[in-house]
Structure 1
Amino acid sequence: MPHTTGVRKRKVAVLGASGTVGQRFISLLAGHPWFEISALTTSGAKAGKRYGDVTAWLLGEDMPPEVADMRVETTRGDLDAEICFSALPSEAAEEWEAALAKAGHHVFSNVKTHRMDDDVPLILAEVNPEHANALDVQRRNRGWTGSIVTNGNCSAITFTLAAAPLHLAFGIEQVVVTTLQALSGAGYPGVPSLDALDNVIPFIGEEEEKMEQETKKFLGSWDGTSFKDAEFPFSAHCNRVSVRDGHTVTVSAALRGRPGLREVTLAMRAFKGRPQELGLPSAPKQPIVVRDERDRPQPIRDRMAGNGMSVVVGRVREDPVLGLKFVVLGHNTIRGAAGASVLNAELLAAEGCLGA
């Protein structure tokens, strides 16, 4: 049953509303049962103008008409919103996310700026909801009534959601992954067409480091005073490929006890988390979809599983080096970005972490 008892509608702002992830936030929040878009912010040059007049809408569906008529604002501390969803550029996030939390706003950030801070939870809602307990320490440390909660890098989210039940059931000893990352992950206009077409770009700045660090924070623990990262060797190769949406990650992993393939797939299929228990509005019924076909997952066929909020696993098989290998696909701007932030906000609202 959907968890609606006692959850009131809250005003929300989208920061960096004209970019790719900002637009995805708007798409997910339009008509949301718990959240109402009350403010949109972009660069100062666009302030005061209609959102529909200053935004090149990039998504497949039409721009929500109620949003098109809204006037764009500059980011500032007195926005008319309890919750701020941040898709700001990194420099602007450095300036504004803490300022907004200090002003009493609850900031749910898709930006890397605060992900690895000692008192800022990096949350993947099904995997580590208990990390939200760090907010009490964050507020005490920083002397503010608001909060900052982050979601991770798009590839880290995709991999971690698939890996979490394996780490929980068996324990991960070591992992090597290779990513095939969609062009939309680079924003708009993003990678020039002559660089992307007929090509694979084997470097994405800071991506491998973010994936390696954030995965261990996701799968680690909160001991009441600090985060303790999961401890296992992790190596990532990250590549940009000519796909519009959907990040594919090929995984080779060593698990404790060397479980069989049936045990692995059963653990993935059975995995559900707090969002599913609560019936949160954005939660997929099945966070991990396991396909048995030999040629799945594929971005064009599988990226919208669970309305883009599920990850799809396939090709689960024995690895002669580490023991297990599989492929996982996730929608990078939905589950890997805006959708993860919205689900985090739903979770914390339902759990009473954002005040009455």
Structure 2
Amino acid sequence: MERRKVGILGATGMVGQRFIQLLNNHPWFEITWLAASDRSAGKTFGEACRWKLDTPLPKKIAEMTVQPNVPELCEGELPKIIFAALDADIARDLEPRFAAAGCAVISNSSAFRMVADVPLVVPEVNADHLDLIETQSWRKAYGGKGGYIVTNPNCSAIGLVLALKPLEERFGIESLFVSTMQAVSGAGYPGVASLDILGNVVPFIKNEEEKMQEEVGKLLGRLDGNRIEMLDAKVSAHCNRVAVEDGHTECVSIKFKRKATREEILAAWSEFAPLRHFVQDQHLPTAPEQPVEYDAAVDRPQPRLDRMRGRGMAATVGRLRECTLLDWKFVVLSHNTIRGAAGAALLNAEVLALLGKLDKLGVNAKPVAAQVAVTA
């Protein structure tokens, strides 16, 4: 596949850095544009960014000039594919402006996840929801070739729905209880102060429980024409911040609509390979071979040992056992800044490429009236 030029909004933050790491030498995409806030614009990326990842900052990226994070002020032509790693309040203003400029905005922000005509997507779970982009006003304004917004879920929801999807398909879900132990990298940088998190557990992450409960319903919902019919299940979440660098661990108890044996649950996970059918003979560079891996050890999964399974893109489940309150309980682990953030958006982009939805985006010029409303 021909390499496409892409840009990164919010490039200096933790998720922006992870985008750079994952996109460096990607066979389908090439970073040609970086943007960040006013304090970074005009500097080289190496000057503007405090690089925090465990691989070197690529020299080519370090030498790139950081652009302003508004399309009207950017020099030169905008790339038609934008990976956005913005705080929700900033994304709420900026992402529609880039979509109105004719860009495919592939967002990690929570700003538009629950908007009716914006797809909230984990490809192994609900790739068919991507059809919603055709209903967006920016897209329709240019004969079906305009820009659009696609989102991926909250970092705590992604690993959970990967484990839930094959179970929901076979047994149905009546109710769900989940308690999370979430890594400090999920708070960004500088994030949680060391004196608040070392030797401690913080039993509150702003809006996290609400996001999990809402997003699971949309992700596991059914596309009905131009709307999502939400999953008919009760979901309750407790979210905690713990002193772990990367990797969200979640303890799950679940009640099914149809009875399931241990062997049937394990088979559902091991046989779960939806992208093989979806992409047929195509290869998605970021997709894990097995999206859900079960570890039978009594003390797994663990963040230090299991977060990089599937190059950080797989969810690991373990400790499957009967639940005395509901039906079954288990533990699921996923890498929160790879599978839960940048890698999730990148996989969405790869699927969009295969579907032809990154081709012939219709607007090259900077917008005159950039703000276009989405359907509430």
Category of TM-score, reference length = shorter chain: over 0.9
Percent identical among aligned pairs is: 48
Across the aligned residues of Structure 1 and Structure 2, the Cα RMSD in angstroms comes to 1.3
Between stretches 182-191 and 222-231, larger displacement belongs to 222-231
Q: CA deviation at 1:140?
A: 6.8
Aligned pair 1:129/2:132, yes or no?
Answer: no
- Contact 1:133–1:224 under 8 Å retained in 2: no
Structure 2 gaps of 5+ residues are: 361-376
Residue deviations 1:213-267 (CA, integer Å, cap 9, x gap) = 0011000011112111111000000000000000001000011222011110110
- 1:299 matched to 2:330: no
309-318 or 71-80: which moved more?
A: 71-80
Q: In 2, distance between residues paired with 1:237 and 1:17?
A: 31
Aligned match of 1:44: 38
| Equivalence for 2:108 | 110
Residue number in structure 1 paired with 2:184: 183
The alignment status of 1:354 with 2:352, answered yes or no, reads no
Question: Which residue of structure 2 aligns with residue 4 of structure 1?
Answer: none
8 Å CA contact 1:221, 1:229 repeated in 2: yes
For 2:272, the equivalent position in structure 1 comes to 271
| TM-score (structure 1 length as normaliser) | 0.96
CA contact (8 A) 2:99 2:138 kept: no
- The 3-state SS of whatever aligns with 2:128 is helix
Question: Is residue 313 of structure 1 aligned with residue 311 of structure 2?
Answer: no
CA distance in 1, matches of 2:317, 2:154: 19
2:368 counterpart residue number: none
Partner of 2:99 in structure 1? 101
Please say if residues 100 and 138 of structure 2, whose CA atoms lie closer than 8 Å, have aligned partners that are also in contact. Answer: no
**Counterpart amino acid of 2:95?**
E
Q: Distance in 1 between matches of 2:246 and 2:99?
A: 32
How far off its partner does 1:143 sit?
A: 2.9
Cα separation, 2, equivalents of 1:171 and 1:101 = 36
Alignment-mate amino acid for residue 299 of structure 2: D
2:5–2:81 Cα contact (<8 Å) kept: yes
Aligned to 2:247: 246
Q: Deviations over 1:179-237 (max 9, x none)?
A: 00000000001001011011100000000000000011000011112111111000000
Query: Which residue, 66, 73, 77 being the options, matches 2:60?
Result: 66
Q: Please give the secondary structure, in 2, of the residue aligned with 1:250.
A: strand
Q: How many angstroms does 1:168 deviate by?
A: 0.8
The alignment partner of 1:258 has SS state of: coil
Cα distance per residue 1:123-151 (max 9 Å; x no partner): 00111000011111114786361010000
Amino acid at match of 2:100: K
- For the 8 Å contact 1:119–1:226, the answer to whether it is kept is yes
Instruction: For residue 167 of structure 1, report the CA deviation from its aligned partner.
Output: 0.3
2:40–2:66 CA contact under 8 A, matched in 1: yes
How much has 1:14 moved relative to structure 2? 0.6
Task: Judge conservation of contact 1:11–1:80 (CA < 8 Å) in 2.
Answer: no
Q: Contact between 1:312 and 1:329, CA under 8 Å: does it hold in 2?
A: yes
Hey, what's the Cα distance between the residues in 2 that align with 1:346 and 1:353? Answer: 10
CA distance in 1, matches of 2:88, 2:258: 42
State how far apart, in whole Å, the 2-side matches of 1:46 and 1:76 are.
13
Equivalent position SS for 1:126: helix
* Partner-residue secondary structure (3-state), 1:329: strand
Post-superposition CA distance 1:264-292 (Å, at most 9, x none): 01101110122674320100001001001
Q: More displaced, 303-312 or 53-62?
A: 53-62
Gaps of 5+ in 1: 1-6
Contact 1:309 1:335 in 2 (8 A): yes
Asked if the contact 1:211–1:236 (Cα under 8 Å) also holds between the matched residues in 2, the reply is yes
- Partners of 1:107 and 1:194 lie apart in 2 by 37
Matched, 1:86 2:89: no
Opposite residue 11 of structure 1, the aligned amino acid is: K
CA contact under 8 A between 2:134 and 2:140: conserved in structure 1?
no
Distance across 1 between alignment mates of 2:139 and 2:335? 35
Aligned counterpart, 1:9: 3
Tell me the distance in 2 between the aligned counterparts of 1:90 and 1:167. Answer: 30
Letter in 2 for 1:202: P
Match 2:348 to one of 321, 344, 349: 344
Map of 1:22 onto structure 2: 16
Letter in 2 for 1:152: P
Letter in 2 for 1:306: G
Q: Aligned with 2:189: secondary structure? A: coil
Report matched runs for 1:211-222 at 5 Å.
211-222=212-223
**Whole-angstrom CA distance in 2 between matches of 1:280 and 1:139:** 29
